[in-house]
Structure 1
Amino acid sequence: MPQPIPLKDQAREKSLVNRRLLVCAGITLVLVAALVGRLYVLQVVQHDQQSAVSENNRVHMLPIAPERGLIYDRNGVVLAANRPSFNLTMTRERAGNVAQVLDELTQVLGLDTDQRQEFDKDLRRGRKPFEPVTLMVGLSEEQIAHLAVNQFRLPGLEVEPQFIREYPLAEHFAHSVGYVGRINEREAKTLDATEYRGTQSIGKTGIERFYEDRLHGHVGYEEVETNAQGRVMRVLDHRDPTPGEDIVLSLDAHLQQAAEKALGERRGALVALDPGTGDILAMVSNPSFDPNLFVKGISFKQYAALRDSIDRPLFNRVLRGLYAPGSTIKPEVAIAGLDSGVITPSSRVFDPGYYELPNYDHKYRNWNRSGDGWVDLSAAIMRSNDTYFYDLAHKLGIERLHDYLADFGLGQKVSLDLFEEAAGLMPSAQWKRATRRQPWFPGETLILGIGQGYMQVTPLQLAQATSLLASKGAWHRPHLAMSVGGQAPVDPNPMPDIVLHDRNAWEQVNQGMQRVMHDPRGIARAAAAGAQYRIAGKSGTAQVVAIRQGERYNRNKTLERHRDNALFVGFAPAEAPRIVVAVMIENGEAGGRVAGPVVREVMDAWLLDEQGHLKAPDASAAPPGHAPHA
């Protein structure tokens, strides 16, 4: 039998549908209420906050880096300039997958893994949102073409024109002007985050570093409106940057080249000063290097070659080289003896070729083993007689000797704007007790009197000490800057002049130094042959390695880098000095024979005109000036 067909329960189904409609309506009402509540919070409660966030996402402050101040020599020759360059920048917010984009870039330009790692370091440095980071400087035309063709693969990367530093005379002023380089992480933490927005380089050495705050200038900005993709839609506000101040140095490019030519290929240092002002006229540390390598970012291979070179081209010998001064300090020791009353100009010492302390049998040898017989002060300076100065140092004692030599700036920083300068060492009994925990011995005073032993000075300190002899004690700190932004720099801590009890001591020492150059028995007479002016000079030969008692120096049995250093200091014209020159030649051996002619060449280049005639006093120096900003 067929089963009966069940009938639908209309009332039950209607009730089920109504319940479902009510649930849906309730859910809808809850969602609408939540939406309205959220809109109320955003539009009313958080209106000010959300408006600011929206504005910040839409409006950005883009920095405009200032143009760095230029650096000139005293005659207007450009030593540090700015040239336009095409640089590669990246804005992370526009790049998307940064690592992938950098991998593509490395492939497109054919870069090595070291360069790829540098990109990562650059991007890790702190920055503001949408602020571009410079990845490469000085793109070539070929690189720009590759980037243009592959732009679709490199989002966030742009080629932008910027100014970069250039040193037209390259290695000639690397140790004085210095160089700029990329800002590293340590430097970034100490710099003003606002002023250095958009700036990629900072002064690393030399004048570039010392006057960084004056050369850098002040950052400008553009307030721009961007779309959701970060593209600039319009400029809302603009403030031009303030360029850095120009600096005019006391250096003379022509004299610098003459000094380099005189020094030749020999390792050493040379510094020339104006004794009346403290102007540094020439400053050579040889060998040198090309500072332009550091501007774009030097490669690991290039830097390793400079760093590991046995000749140390990166080492500034003028400021950081510490050497025994040898006999070049004997004129200062003579001043100490005269001013303290220990000796008079006519005081004589008999020289048999050596000196012995009372009750000691150790012989302190004179460089002339046969001796010079009876010598007074003038002859002792002329002949550089060690025996005379052994005796004088013994009479002075270590404390007086230390104090007088310190008055001449030996063993301390003397410059005004050369931050790299080393202090050196002027030893004393107190210093030895504190550092060596040993007493001071009388023999150490003797060898200090001829510029040996613990004493260490820089070539700049030697030049300054000689400048004080030339200026009769008038202190002018050596400096490179003649004007910064049109204003002459001021010495915040001027040194007191050296005032002697008897000012005739200056002239007496001056006459002895002239005899070094012009007396038939003078040990550097060959260097002054044919000079049209009088030169006051003093040679020095300083040991690099010690020689045993009784042995003689034998250059043929001494390694080249263990041979004596050759030094020479002098000023001219002797009666009215206009230039002071100090030279140190590493392992050059004979100061009078090797370093003396170098000093003479530099003096001729400064004092003589093109026809070989002595210039008038007012024609040898240009007054401080301010070159126009280029």
Structure 2
Amino acid sequence: LGIGADEIEDKLKADWVKADSFVPVATIPKIQEVDLLTVNPDETVLEEKEKQDTLLKIPGIMLSDVKVRTYYLKEAASHLVGYVQAVTAEDLQEHKGEGYRTNSVIGKTGLETLYEKELKGTDGCEICIVDANGNKKSVIAYEPKKDGEDIHTTIDGDLQSTLYEQFKEDRGCSVALNPYTGEVLALVSTPSYDNNDFVRGMDNSQWSALNENEDRPLYNRFRQTWCPGSTFKPVIAAIGLKVGAFTANDDFGNEGLAWQKDSSWGDYTVTTLHDYEPVILKNALIYSDNIYFAKAALKIGADQLMQSLNQIGFNQELPFDIKMSESQYSNMDKIETEIQLADSGYGQGQILVNPLHLASIFTAFLNDGNMIKPYLHADGGSTSSEIWIKDVFSPQIVSEVMEGLEGVVNNPEGTGYGACREDIRLAGKTGTAELKATKEDTSGTEIGWFTVFTTDRDAKNPILLISMVENVKDIGGSGYVVEKDKAILDEYLGNE
């Protein structure tokens, strides 16, 4: 069982224990004969059956059925769902008078914590008079138990599992939503852990393996903020068009693959990967031109950019059931230098964005410029949309930016062309964010992104999907994420 003799002895010494008491020492999954009758029984099932058989050979050991919370999606949704555990002395003190007892369980993380009051229910009780043989003679008082509420979420369990299976070996996260209603379809963080282990109990070796793993499987990545790289370029484009800093057809000029504003930048340059003409917005998005968007940010100006970003939810809490880290444009209270401003134009500098917030911003490109509010609690099965921020961009701006985003996926030169489909029109934006100490640093990492979405409001399964992998430097950059998201969309969308 992976527990020490001392721990078992402590349980046996509890005040309530009598000579004939059944003292629970561990909770393990119940394996029944039907579980073994499949053609190829799961290896874990066979191991658990062998464990049960071995336990029953030990004198004094009994197995007793007990109902515990079971999480069927396991690792695929553990960061989202969370888990319950036995209450602690601190829990009892904090929730004094709320009906918790020493044998109660309480939500510790995720949705289990968020909806603890609704899920909890109330214990029943009975006060009765019995005779010397324990037979009930009369009931003095009776209070029936009350089950907790059923909580229905918008999560698509199949999509959640598919995303997890694709990215389970990667450090990253994915969010998916219906861009027209705001229904959140998936929230995945990888690598992960089995939340059932927290309910049944873990031995020290299991806990150490989780806690000391350098990939940090307990870390919830979809709640954090990350450097968005080129996925931020459409946002800069739309802001620039909105404030009149440039037009979609303004040619910024071909600067080659490296550029700096003037000699005041010293040896600092902005680099890009592709040489193309004309250097207009549509092409800049398709080729993901860093130089174009550095220039765009300079044309917008720091004050105007900060004000515009604040208007679309930066430096404020996302209106969502789960608390997310706030997106930012600076580690301080403002963009301080010209170089920082230029870097911000292509999603670097000190720009950090929460993935669900980024998804909400992208909904504006599908809803005539309105940002849709994401939601998770499916109250009464409603699928109506609620606008979070109205008229973020005009329909004309949306049209001009979308021309480039559709080109990213459908133009053979586009960085997201690997996800192109013949049956369903997709649009999106790739991104690769470099994280390094200096310009010369060659040991830094690269964050890979892909934002992709269906463009037809009448599509059978409309979806906006954003995936991020922490280190794609030596595995294909953002192309690695595009390939995995394509496989996910192929399964989710099927053939329409």
TM range (shorter): 0.7 to 0.9
The answer (yes or no) to whether the contact 1:182–1:297 under 8 Å persists in 2 is no
Query: What pairs up with 1:607-618 in 2 under 5 angstroms?
Result: 607-608=493-494, 613-614=495-496
Matched, 1:316 2:220: yes
Specify the SS of the correspondent of 2:297: helix
The answer (yes or no) to whether the contact 1:410–1:462 under 8 Å persists in 2 is no
Deviations 1:523-573 (A, max 9, x none): 222331x4322211111101122342xx4x86xxx3xxx421111112113
Question: Which AA in structure 1 matches 2:489?
Answer: M
In structure 2, what is the Cα distance between the partners aligned to 1:573 and 1:189? Answer: 52
Deviations 1:79-116 (A, max 9, x none): xxxxxxxxxxxxxxxxxxxxxxxxxxxxxx99532455
Which stretches in structure 2 are left out of the alignment for 5+ residues? 31-51
TM-score, normalised relative to structure 2: 0.82
Q: Partner of 1:366 in structure 2? A: 271
In structure 1, what is the Cα distance between the partners aligned to 2:110 and 2:373? Answer: 17
In structure 1, what is the Cα distance between the partners aligned to 2:419 and 2:387? Answer: 35
Deviations 1:411-432 (A, max 9, x none): 544252113x222433286357
Specify the SS of the correspondent of 1:605: helix
Q: Partner of 1:448 in structure 2? A: 344
In structure 2, what is the Cα distance between the partners aligned to 1:224 and 1:213? Answer: 30
Matched, 1:221 2:125: yes
Q: Partner of 2:415 in structure 1? A: 523
Kindly tell me: are residues 145 and 603 of structure 1, through their superposed partners in 2, closer, same or farther at Cα, counting changes over 3 Å?
A: closer
The answer (yes or no) to whether the contact 1:410–1:465 under 8 Å persists in 2 is no
Displacement of 1:161 after TM fit? 6.3
Kindly tell me: are residues 313 and 117 of structure 1, through their superposed partners in 2, closer, same or farther at Cα, counting changes over 3 Å?
A: farther
Kindly tell me: are residues 110 and 285 of structure 1, through their superposed partners in 2, closer, same or farther at Cα, counting changes over 3 Å?
A: closer
The answer (yes or no) to whether the contact 2:297–2:344 under 8 Å persists in 1 is yes
Q: Partner of 1:505 in structure 2? A: 397
Question: Which AA in structure 1 matches 2:396?
Answer: N
In structure 2, what is the Cα distance between the partners aligned to 1:378 and 1:281? Answer: 30
1:597 aligned to which of 472, 475, 483: 483
1:181 aligned to which of 48, 65, 85: 85
Specify the SS of the correspondent of 2:468: strand
In structure 1, what is the Cα distance between the partners aligned to 2:294 and 2:101? Answer: 61
Question: Which AA in structure 2 matches 1:365?
Answer: V
Q: Could you tell which deviates more after superposition, 461-470 or 403-412?
A: 403-412
Kindly tell me: are residues 575 and 417 of structure 1, through their superposed partners in 2, closer, same or farther at Cα, counting changes over 3 Å?
A: closer
Q: Which has the higher helix share?
A: 1
In structure 2, what is the Cα distance between the partners aligned to 1:136 and 1:235? Answer: 34
Query: What pairs up with 1:427-438 in 2 under 5 angstroms?
Result: 427=330, 430-431=333-334
Q: Partner of 1:464 in structure 2? A: 360
The answer (yes or no) to whether the contact 2:176–2:465 under 8 Å persists in 1 is yes
Q: Partner of 2:142 in structure 1? A: 238
Displacement of 1:499 after TM fit? 3.7
In structure 2, what is the Cα distance between the partners aligned to 1:150 and 1:235? Answer: 36
The answer (yes or no) to whether the contact 2:120–2:147 under 8 Å persists in 1 is yes
In structure 1, what is the Cα distance between the partners aligned to 2:203 and 2:194? Answer: 13
1:328 aligned to which of 218, 231, 239: 231
In structure 2, what is the Cα distance between the partners aligned to 1:225 and 1:160? Answer: 29
Kindly tell me: are residues 187 and 473 of structure 1, through their superposed partners in 2, closer, same or farther at Cα, counting changes over 3 Å?
A: farther
Q: Partner of 2:302 in structure 1? A: 398
Kindly tell me: are residues 361 and 164 of structure 1, through their superposed partners in 2, closer, same or farther at Cα, counting changes over 3 Å?
A: closer
Specify the SS of the correspondent of 2:264: coil
Q: Partner of 1:265 in structure 2? A: 169
Matched, 1:476 2:372: yes
In structure 2, what is the Cα distance between the partners aligned to 1:525 and 1:180? Answer: 44
Q: Partner of 2:27 in structure 1? A: 138
Kindly tell me: are residues 468 and 195 of structure 1, through their superposed partners in 2, closer, same or farther at Cα, counting changes over 3 Å?
A: farther
Which stretches in structure 1 are left out of the alignment for 5+ residues? 1-108, 125-131, 152-158, 433-439, 615-630
The answer (yes or no) to whether the contact 2:306–2:334 under 8 Å persists in 1 is no
The answer (yes or no) to whether the contact 1:196–1:219 under 8 Å persists in 2 is no
Specify the SS of the correspondent of 1:241: coil
In structure 1, what is the Cα distance between the partners aligned to 2:166 and 2:61? Answer: 53
Kindly tell me: are residues 210 and 424 of structure 1, through their superposed partners in 2, closer, same or farther at Cα, counting changes over 3 Å?
A: same
Specify the SS of the correspondent of 2:81: coil
Q: Partner of 1:23 in structure 2? A: none
1:385 aligned to which of 279, 289, 292: 289
The answer (yes or no) to whether the contact 1:517–1:523 under 8 Å persists in 2 is yes
Query: What pairs up with 1:509-588 in 2 under 5 angstroms?
Result: 509-528=401-420, 530-548=421-439, 551=440, 558=443, 562-573=444-455, 578-588=462-472
Question: Which AA in structure 2 matches 1:354?
Answer: A
In structure 2, what is the Cα distance between the partners aligned to 1:261 and 1:144? Answer: 34
Aligned length: 464
Kindly tell me: are residues 489 and 162 of structure 1, through their superposed partners in 2, closer, same or farther at Cα, counting changes over 3 Å?
A: farther
The answer (yes or no) to whether the contact 2:406–2:428 under 8 Å persists in 1 is yes
Displacement of 1:203 after TM fit? 1.1
RMSD: 3.7
Q: Partner of 1:65 in structure 2? A: none
Displacement of 1:478 after TM fit? 2.3
Kindly tell me: are residues 147 and 453 of structure 1, through their superposed partners in 2, closer, same or farther at Cα, counting changes over 3 Å?
A: same
Specify the structure having the higher radius of gyration (Cα): 1
The answer (yes or no) to whether the contact 1:134–1:200 under 8 Å persists in 2 is no
Displacement of 1:247 after TM fit? 1.6
In structure 2, what is the Cα distance between the partners aligned to 1:335 and 1:414? Answer: 21
TM-score, normalised relative to structure 1: 0.66
The answer (yes or no) to whether the contact 1:467–1:571 under 8 Å persists in 2 is no
Displacement of 1:150 after TM fit? 9.7
Kindly tell me: are residues 110 and 233 of structure 1, through their superposed partners in 2, closer, same or farther at Cα, counting changes over 3 Å?
A: farther
The answer (yes or no) to whether the contact 2:286–2:405 under 8 Å persists in 1 is yes
